[in-house]
Structure 1
Amino acid sequence: MLRNSECRLDGEMQLGNEIQPIEIAEGVYWVGVVDWNLRDFHGYETPKGGTYNSYLIIDEKITLIDTVKGPFFDEMIGRISQIVDPAKIDYIVSNHVEMDHSSSLPAIMQVVPKAKIFSSAKGKKGLLEHYREMGFQNWDIEVVKTGDEISIGKKTLQFIEVVMLHWPDSMHTYLKEDKILFSNDAFGQHIATSERFEDQVEGVMEDAEIYYANILMPFGKQVLTYAEKIKQMGLKFDMIAPAHGVIWRKEPERIIEAYVKWANAEAKQSVLIIYDTMWGSTEIMAKEILYGVESAGVDVKLRNLRKNDWSKMVKELMDASVVAIGSPTQNNGMFFTIAGFLSYMKGLRPKGKKFFVFGSYGWGGGAVKGIEKELTESGFEIVEPGFQVNFKPFEEDREKCREIGSRLASLAKK
Structure 2
Amino acid sequence: MMTALTENVKWVGKVDWELKFFHGQEYSTHRGSSYNSYLIKDQKTVLIDTVWKPFAREFIENLKQEIELEQIDYIIANHAESDHSGALELLMQEIPETPIYCTKNAIQSLQGHYHKTWNFIPVKTGDTLNLGKNQLVFVEARMLHWPDSMFTYLTGENLLFSNDAFGQHYASELLYNDLVDQSELEQEAIKYYANILTPYSVLVQKKIEEIKGLNLPLDMICPSHGIIWRKKPWQIVEQYLEWAQDYQENQITLVYDSMWDGTKKMAEAIIEGIKTADDQVNVKMYNLALSDKSDIITEIFKSKAFLIGSPTINRGILYSVAGLLEMIKGLGFKNKKAAAFGCYGWSGEGTKIITEGLMQGGITILDEGLRALWHPDQETIQTCKAYGKDLVAKI
Is TM-score (shorter-chain normalized) higher than 0.5?
Answer: yes
TM-score range, shorter chain: over 0.9
- Match of residue 149 from structure 1: 128
- Match of residue 362 from structure 1: 345
Residue 50 of structure 2 corresponds to residue 67 of structure 1 = yes
Q: How far apart are 1:145 and its partner, in Å?
A: 0.7
2:384, 2:151 → 1: CA distance? 49
- Match of residue 395 from structure 1: 378
Q: Which amino acid aligns with 1:26?
A: E
- Match of residue 50 from structure 1: 33
Q: How far apart are 1:265 and its partner, in Å?
A: 1.5
Preserved contact between residue 57 and residue 90 of structure 2 (Cα < 8 Å): no
Q: Aligned with 2:5: secondary structure?
A: strand
What RMSD, in angstroms, separates the aligned Cα atoms of the two structures?
1.2
Preserved contact between residue 146 and residue 159 of structure 1 (Cα < 8 Å): yes
- Match of residue 78 from structure 1: 61
Q: Aligned with 1:198: secondary structure?
A: coil
Preserved contact between residue 59 and residue 153 of structure 1 (Cα < 8 Å): yes
- Match of residue 143 from structure 2: 164
Q: Which amino acid aligns with 2:349?
A: G
Q: Aligned with 2:379: secondary structure?
A: helix
Q: Which amino acid aligns with 2:355?
A: E
Preserved contact between residue 271 and residue 409 of structure 1 (Cα < 8 Å): no
Q: Aligned with 2:384: secondary structure?
A: helix
Preserved contact between residue 322 and residue 411 of structure 1 (Cα < 8 Å): no
Deviation digits for residues 151-203 of structure 1 (CA, Å, limit 9, x no counterpart): 11112100000011111110000011111110111111111222211211112
- Match of residue 190 from structure 1: 169
Deviation digits for residues 377-406 of structure 1 (CA, Å, limit 9, x no counterpart): 332211111111111112221112112212
Residue 154 of structure 2 corresponds to residue 181 of structure 1 = no
Residue 291 of structure 2 corresponds to residue 308 of structure 1 = yes
> What are the equivalent positions in structure 2 for 1:200-239 lying under 5 Å apart?
200-202=179-181, 203-239=184-220
- Match of residue 318 from structure 1: 301
TM-score by length of 1: 0.91
2:22, 2:112 → 1: CA distance? 23
Q: Which amino acid aligns with 2:194?
A: A
- Match of residue 21 from structure 1: 2
Deviation digits for residues 294-329 of structure 1 (CA, Å, limit 9, x no counterpart): 222121101111121211111111110111111111
2:61, 2:174 → 1: CA distance? 19
Residue 93 of structure 2 corresponds to residue 110 of structure 1 = yes
Preserved contact between residue 333 and residue 361 of structure 2 (Cα < 8 Å): no
- Match of residue 347 from structure 1: 330
Q: Aligned with 2:359: secondary structure?
A: helix
Identity over aligned pairs, percent: 42
Q: How far apart are 1:130 and its partner, in Å?
A: 2.6
- Match of residue 255 from structure 2: 274
Deviation digits for residues 228-256 of structure 1 (CA, Å, limit 9, x no counterpart): 11022112321111101111111111111
Question: Which consecutive segments of 4 or more residues in structure 1 shift more than 3 A?
Answer: none
TM-score by length of 2: 0.96
Preserved contact between residue 199 and residue 249 of structure 1 (Cα < 8 Å): yes
Q: How far apart are 1:50 and its partner, in Å?
A: 1.1
1:88, 1:341 → 2: CA distance? 49
Q: How far apart are 1:36 and its partner, in Å?
A: 1.6
Q: How many residues get paired?
A: 389
Q: Which amino acid aligns with 2:141?
A: V
Q: Which amino acid aligns with 1:290?
A: I
Q: Aligned with 1:92: secondary structure?
A: strand
Q: Which amino acid aligns with 1:265?
A: D
1:237, 1:399 → 2: CA distance? 57
The one of 112, 128, 132 equivalent to 1:129 is 112
Q: Which amino acid aligns with 1:161?
A: E
- Match of residue 315 from structure 2: 332
Preserved contact between residue 204 and residue 240 of structure 2 (Cα < 8 Å): yes
- Match of residue 16 from structure 1: none
Gaps of 5+ in 2: none
2:320, 2:54 → 1: CA distance? 33
1:410, 1:82 → 2: CA distance? 64
1:167, 1:402 → 2: CA distance? 44
Gaps of 5+ in 1: 1-19
1:77, 1:24 → 2: CA distance? 20
Q: Which amino acid aligns with 2:307?
A: A
Residue 226 of structure 2 corresponds to residue 245 of structure 1 = yes
2:383, 2:155 → 1: CA distance? 61
Q: Which amino acid aligns with 2:19?
A: L
- Match of residue 99 from structure 1: 82
Select between 213-222 and 228-237 the one with higher mean Cα deviation.
228-237
